[in-house]
Amino acid sequence: MTIYQNLIAGEWTGADAVENINPSDTKEVVGLYASGSAADTKNAIAAAKAAFPAWSRSGIWERHVILKKAGDEIMARKDELGALLAREEGKTLPEAIGETIRASQIFEFFAGEALRLAGEVVPSVRPNIGVEITREPLGVIGIITPWNFPIAIPAWKIAPALCYGNTVVFKPAELVPGCSWAIVDILNRAGLPKGVLNLVMGKGSVVGQTMLDSPDLAGITFTGSVGTGKRVAVSSIEHNRKIQLEMGGKNPMVILDDADLNVAVEAAANSAFFSTGQRCTASSRLIVTEGIHDRFVAAMTEKLKSLNVDHALKTGTHIGPVVDERQLKTDIDYIEIGRQEGAKLAFGGELISRDTPGFYLQPALFTEATNQMRISREEIFGPVASVIRVKDYDEALAVANDTPFGLSSGIATTSLKHATHFKRNAEAGMVMVNLPTAGVDFHVPFGGRKGSSYGSREQGKYAAEFFTVVKTAYTLA
């Protein structure tokens, strides 16, 4: 089998490889992917450092053309790349193709942003002096990504890094190297000079840790768990390095008595269970007021019965497998914890077998949960959600905000008053009204508050904040 290698200083390299396994069919090896060493990582950082002076001064048209080419190729290959994504991560084919299209759109967006770079010229408070404010590239950027969005998250970090003139060392999650390899290959062939974008696949404890320990990374943009995010933060203080951290969530979806029941059920089922609940913006706390509680639980249970859990590539599958055995164990452990805490398992939660050996779990819905239970406070990152019964809107808002996280927050209501109040008072980076907590646009800011995020926003023009550094220049006329 061919080994998909790392890209370091423009050369494909690496003989040590690991198997990329399909969670829908564990007999299938998606491919063999290089597992880089600490020395590979250091070489990649050195290559990115050497490439920085020229790339940081490259013309905006060159950057535009490369990013546009990449976006166009990803779009042209959306079905093939979507199938690769579905095979390595386990989300359904339509979800995977949707994510691939989004990656393409992100490259198109930043291809445009490259042409819109601008500064400000302002008068000085002193006579005969001019002031210019410009944004300059930050330097070598370390990009560390999780497994749950294998093409979109790499895209939304790599595209702005290159657009604003930075060079990159990119380390994808071990479970999903395939899509990362594909987009690096596409960008490399699109004409990036050697060393501008380096790919080092491999272990977090080896490749990732070597990146954290390096004094040569000017910034690290990280998406992943809270624990790893904290390590990135601590190491970065020591190196005076800029960081952008996107971490966990325990997102609430409030359902009020006046909600349209169909809208509420569709939004809640999507938020909690689509993409197998493996989204940082997934809602695992369904906070429901008394007047609609029983009708909502009945309708949700009916909806769950209609969802097929099966092979990600099979037509008609609504929910794919859990990503791997370790995550499956975590999900099952939390289902047991929920039972022991006194929540009632109203639906699902059992392992199921299908035609192929995979990590198939029937989505689990708890009722009679409280917001103090561990299943309501800790991120599970699987198809497990709890219904928390509350008296009224005020209690719903208080419960929604009573969490260490603050990524996305949703409400289902027909009341303008409550929707408006919730938008203003939800302690979250993103608020959704009558929409799932997950599912966002690619051209506007993405990020959270409290324990979910640290640093400036990702995506849209707000990405410039992290990927550039501001300079203020004064000239005597």
Among all residues, which ones are annotated catalytic? Answer: 246
Nearest to ligand NAD of 317, 459 (CB atom)? 459
**Footprint (CB under 6 A) of ligand NAD, residues 397-416:** 407
The minimum distance between CB 109 and ligand NAD, in angstroms, equals 18
209: closest CA among 183, 177, 236? 236
One of 381, 442, 454, 466 touching ligand NAD (CB under 6 A) = 381
Give the contact letters, 123-162, x = binds to ligand NAD (CB under 6 A), - = no.
---------------------xxxxxx-------------
Quote the longest CA-to-CA distance of the chain.
Answer: 79
The minimum distance between CB 18 and ligand NAD, in angstroms, equals 12
The minimum distance between CB 203 and ligand NAD, in angstroms, equals 6
Nearest to ligand NAD of 221, 413 (CB atom)? 221
For residue 204, state whether it binds ligand NAD (rule: CB under 6 A): yes
Beta-bridge partners for 469: 136
Strand segments (E) across 317-383? 344-347, 364-369
Nearest to ligand NAD of 346, 384 (CB atom)? 384
Cα torsion angle, 302, 364, 276, 437, sign: positive
Q: How many residues bind ligand NAD (CB under 6 A)?
A: 28
Burial class (CB in 10 A: 0-12, 13-18, 19+), 305: exposed
One of 13, 26, 58, 225 touching ligand NAD (CB under 6 A) = 225
**Dihedral angle over CA of 448, 449, 455, 456, nearest 10:** 50
For residue 297, state whether it binds ligand NAD (rule: CB under 6 A): no
Q: Which residue has the tokens 């690096």?
A: 184
Nearest to ligand NAD of 131, 233 (CB atom)? 233
The minimum distance between CB 385 and ligand NAD, in angstroms, equals 15
Which of these ranges, 70-78, 221-229, 261-269, 396-404, lies near ligand NAD under the rule CB under 6 A? 221-229
| Sheet arrangement for strand 3-4 | 3-4, 25-34, 17-22
CA-to-CA separations, 178 to 27, 175, 193, 206, 273, in angstroms, rounded: 17, 9, 22, 19, 24
Rounded Cα distance, 319 and 322, in Å: 9
Nearest to ligand NAD of 35, 413 (CB atom)? 35
CA-to-CA separations, 89 to 195, 410, 418, 436, in angstroms, rounded: 28, 26, 38, 22
- Rg for the chain, CA atoms, rounded: 23
Question: Could you tell me whether strands 120-123 and 25-34 are parallel, antiparallel, or unpaired per DSSP bridges?
Answer: unpaired
Give the end-to-end CA distance of the chain in Å, rounded to a whole number: 66
Nearest to ligand NAD of 30, 292 (CB atom)? 30
**Footprint (CB under 6 A) of ligand NAD, residues 433-462:** 452
For residue 246, state whether it binds ligand NAD (rule: CB under 6 A): yes
**Footprint (CB under 6 A) of ligand NAD, residues 267-286:** 280
The minimum distance between CB 381 and ligand NAD, in angstroms, equals 5
- Is 117 in contact with 135 (CB distance < 8 Å)? yes
The minimum distance between CB 229 and ligand NAD, in angstroms, equals 7
For residue 244, state whether it binds ligand NAD (rule: CB under 6 A): no
Output the six-digit token pair for 91.
Answer: 């989300």
For residue 163, state whether it binds ligand NAD (rule: CB under 6 A): no
For residue 224, state whether it binds ligand NAD (rule: CB under 6 A): yes
Residues 6+ apart with CB under 8 A from 54: 193
For residue 219, state whether it binds ligand NAD (rule: CB under 6 A): no
Q: Give the binding site for ligand NAD (CB under 6 A).
A: 144-149, 171, 173-174, 204-205, 208-209, 212, 223-225, 228, 231, 246-249, 280, 379, 381, 407, 452
